[in-house]
Structure formats: C-alpha cells, structure tokens
Chains A and B, each alone.
Chain A
Amino acid sequence: DIQMTQSPSTLSATVGDRVTITCRASQSISSWLAWYQQKPGKAPKLLIYKASSLESGVPSRFSGSGSGTEFTLTISSLQPDDFATYYCQQYNRYPWTFGQGTKVEIK
C-alpha cells in the first residue's frame, strides 16, 4: 500500500497567516492527489484534485502543488472558517489511501 505522511500533525496559526501543509507519498503517485477539509462531526469536503486543480466553489486562497512524492496545500491568508483538519489522499493505485491529517488550530 502507498503510505501518505502529512506534516505537521498540528499547526497553530492566526487569521491572515499563510499556511502550508506537506504530504509525502511512499512512492510516486504522479499528480493523483486530492486534499480535503474536515470539521468536527462533518464529512470531508473536497478542496483540490489532481494535485493542483481547485474544486468548484472553493475559495482561491486554497492552492495545491507538487508531483511525484511531495505535495503541498497552501492557504494564502487564513480565515476563521479555515480552522479544521486537512487530509491528503492518493488515488494513483489501489487501495486509495489518506494521510493521517493536519489539524489547523487557533494560535
């Protein structure tokens, strides 16, 4: 199975900060990577697919980059609604696998 490792596990930030989350794959997944946002008690929400394609309706402050084994999710200016847990997910090979998550907390 392809292992997805996110860093950091927790991130403390303030409104307006630029935030970057890293996701590393245990083997190359080309650009077959998605990012999700999840709030407590809710289902995950798709933010980014194919590493850098912004899902319709998602604010442009979210962006994704990378290919191969290293990927990043960037929030250009953190907003109050962005405090949540973020997951990466590879879909290059079965079984599709998720990272362990990065919790973005209020500093």
Chain B
Amino acid sequence: EVELVEYGGGLVQPGGSLRLSCAASGFTFSSYAMSWVRQAPGKGPEWVFVISGSGANTYYADSVKGRFTISRDNSKSTLFLQMNSLRVEDTAVYYCAKGSILVDRGYFDLWGRGTLVTVSS
C-alpha cells in the first residue's frame, strides 16, 4: 500500500526543538521529491520545505529559514524535519507530502495523516 506516516509531534516550549519523521512505503522513495507542509488550526496549508529525491537540493519558506532543516534517508525510505528555536506560531499539524520526480513540479499527490506540533509554555 502506498502510504506516508508521520511521527514525532508533541508539546514543546518556545525555543525548544523537535524532530519529525515520515516513513514512506509502496513507492520508490528515492525517485521523488518530498515536502513538509503545515497547517495551523483553522488556517490553510503552508508549504515549509522540499528536498529532491537524491537529497542534493532543498528549498524552504522564509518563515523557517535558519531554524528548520530537512533531510532524508533513502535506504530507510524516511524523511525528516529537524525543528529548532520553535516559536508559538510554528504550532500546526505537520504533513509529509510526496512530490514529483522533478523537484520543481511542486504539487503533492500523496499526503500523510499529519502530526500535531504544539509550541506553548
């Protein structure tokens, strides 16, 4: 079955860190760009970060510049998001999303169920 499952969300204090993981199955993980997309409560989705299939290229939203890092382990079909210096406004459901073979073709044809990150004191 083609599936993405996110792990690692939870409650963290402002300034803290969290690492999200996304386990992929049912497709050739290394062939596809992968993104993290977040959605704050009651808001629309916000694209956060993308990484190419090889891991050589990454692009991000300015809102996470210098604080978040994306990576992938193609041998384990797993995507990661390291989140540092977390802010209250980072509170959201974080989705792992499958992109295209071409990193710049940025639409998402498979999404995980999401993991909730709450930043609060």
Contacts and interface: CB of A to CB of B under 8 A. Distances in A.
Contacts of B106: 32, 89, 91, 96
Nearest to A33: B107
Given A99-B44, A101-B44, A43 B114 contact: yes
Contacts of A44: 45, 95, 108, 111
Interface residues of B, number: 20
B104 interface: yes
A91 B107 contact: yes
Contacts, number: 50
B95 A43 contact: yes
A73 to B, nearest CB: 14
B112 interface: yes
Given A44-B111, A45-B111, A87 B45 contact: yes
Decide if the interface of chain B is mainly helix, strand, loop or mixed: loop
A46 interface: yes
A91 B105 contact: yes
Interface in A30-85: 32, 34, 36, 42-46, 49-50, 55
Interface in B75-121: 95, 104-109, 111-114
B104 A95 contact: no
B112 A34 contact: no
Contacts of A42: 113
Nearest to A45: B111
Given A43-B95, A43-B113, A43-B114, A98 B47 contact: yes
Interface of A: 32, 34, 36, 42-46, 49-50, 55, 87, 89, 91, 94-101
Interface of B: 44-47, 50, 59-62, 95, 104-109, 111-114
